[in-house]
């Protein structure tokens, strides 16, 4: 099989190999930025939607649950489409859609178009994240079968370290709809740019 005995020397060798893989590193940055966007939503949405837009706790709970289902639905759609489109194309589509939803949110908030627009943009953002994210992980781990555990650990650690830091730090400036939208839009745009950089050469060779 592909399992090995481990040990510090082997782990160090795995880290060196990962650090030389440009595709892996770009996707790690994309995942970190995506995590920042997600945790921006996670840390600020309850305050924004209840305090600024007047949702009750029950209404927010329902919306939050529906967004979780939207994210799951995006992942399930990705599973259906990946054989037809390939992971690189689907990763790029998902990330572009995520950026579009984030920018839509950023446009809607200053225009004062109300809670319906904000809820729609956030749901689209979560759905698109479900489409793109799993394919980014698959591309990052591809070619690292012997060190898949180390690669997955790096990807997860970076994502779930950067995200929980950025979200609360961004909230220090105030948990307003605009600060939430800016955090999500900036982070999603960085993730989208990295995804484009990662996917374009793969698509050029038919992957």
> What are the helix and strand counts (H, E) for the chain?
7, 0
In a domain? residue 177: yes
In a domain? residue 182: yes
In a domain? residue 6: no
Mean pLDDT of the 9-17 span: 86
In a domain? residue 74: yes
* Structure tokens given for 194: 């990295």
Quick one: pLDDT at residue 175? 85
- Where residue 129 falls among pLDDT bands split at 50, 70, 90? very high
Range of the domain at 189: 11-204
Quick one: pLDDT at residue 85? 94
SS3 5: coil
Instruction: Show the CA angle centred on residue 163, arms to residues 161 and 167, nearest 5°.
Output: 130
In a domain? residue 58: yes
Quick one: pLDDT at residue 72? 97
* Structure tokens given for 187: 């982070």
CA distances from 133 to 56, 60, 114, 184 (A): 31, 25, 29, 15
CATH number for the domain spanning 176: value is 1.20.1250.20
Quick one: pLDDT at residue 172? 81
Domain count within the chain: 1
- Where residue 207 falls among pLDDT bands split at 50, 70, 90? low
In a domain? residue 66: yes
The predicted-structure confidence for 138-194, as pLDDT tens digits, reads as follows: 999 987 878 888 899 999 999 999 988 988 888 887 789 999 999 999 999 999 999
Instruction: Decide which of 201 and 205 is more confident.
Output: 201
Cα distance between residue 160 and residue 165, in whole Å: 9
The predicted-structure confidence for 77-117, as pLDDT tens digits, reads as follows: 999 999 999 999 999 999 999 999 999 999 998 887 789 99
Quick one: pLDDT at residue 10? 80
**pLDDT of 3 higher than 80:** no
Quick one: pLDDT at residue 1? 44
* Structure tokens given for 125: 């953002």
Which segments within 35-166 are labelled E, that is strand? none
Residue with tokens 């939208």: 181
Quick one: pLDDT at residue 146? 82
Quick one: pLDDT at residue 69? 98
CA distances from 92 to 36, 53, 162, 183 (A): 18, 33, 22, 21
Instruction: Decide which of 188 and 9 is more confident.
Output: 188
Cα distance between residue 133 and residue 159, in whole Å: 11
């Amino acid at each position: 099989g592909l399992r090995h005995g481990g040990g510090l020397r082997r782990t160090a060798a795995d880290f060196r190999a990962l650090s030389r893989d440009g595709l892996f590193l770009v996707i790690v940055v994309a995942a970190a930025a995506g995590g920042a966007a997600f945790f921006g939503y996670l840390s600020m949405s309850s305050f924004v939607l209840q305090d600024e837009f007047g949702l009750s706790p029950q209404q927010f709970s329902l919306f939050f649950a529906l967004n979780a289902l939207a994210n799951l639905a995006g992942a399930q759609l990705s599973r259906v489409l990946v054989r037809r489109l390939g992971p690189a194309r689907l990763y790029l589509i998902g990330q572009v859609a995520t950026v579009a939803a984030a920018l839509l949110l950023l446009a809607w908030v200053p225009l004062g178009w109300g809670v319906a627009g904000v809820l729609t943009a956030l749901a689209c953002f979560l759905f698109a994240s479900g489409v793109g994210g799993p394919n980014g992980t698959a591309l990052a781990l591809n070619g690292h079968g012997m060190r898949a555990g180390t690669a997955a650990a790096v990807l997860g650690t970076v994502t779930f370290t950067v995200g929980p830091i950025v979200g609360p730090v961004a909230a220090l400036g105030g948990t307003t709809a605009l600060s939430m939208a800016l955090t999500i839009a900036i982070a999603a745009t960085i993730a989208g740019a990295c995804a484009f950089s990662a996917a374009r050469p793969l698509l050029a060779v038919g992957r």
